[in-house]
Amino acid sequence: MSPSQDSSGYWKANIRLILICLFIWAFCSYGMGILFRPLLSGITFGGADLGFWFAQQGSIITFIILIFFYAWRMNKLDKQYGLDEE
């Protein structure tokens, strides 16, 4: 494989990972906290209804989990394409 094909595959995988993470974050913060809040109002979690919990706490926790997931997955992707740090 030529270096341009390697870099093209690397960036496609990187952009795909970013888009997946953004979709999960948007679904949890906007979807669960705003759009689907009326549907989640009957479910209690942590002393509040689930929609309120996602709006206040869940989206932040999801974002932090996504940061660690992205770092872990990018390390694997870097190793796969030979760009890892030693």
Residue 86 domain-assigned (yes or no): no
Instruction: Tell me the residue length of the chain.
Output: 86
Cβ contacts of residue 78 below 8 Å, gap of 6+? 84, 85
Within-domain flag for 36: yes
At 57-74, the pLDDT tens digits run 888 999 999 999 999 999
Residue 10 lies in a domain: yes
**Residue 21: inside a domain, yes or no?**
yes
Distance, in Å, from the CA atom of 59 to the CA atom of 17, rounded to the nearest integer, reads: 19
- Both tokens assigned to 82: 């030979």
Write the pLDDT tens digit of every residue in 30-46: 988 889 988 988 899 88
Structural domains of the chain, count = 1
* 24: in domain: yes
Q: Is residue 50 part of a domain?
A: yes
- Which range marks the domain in which residue 67 is found? 3-80
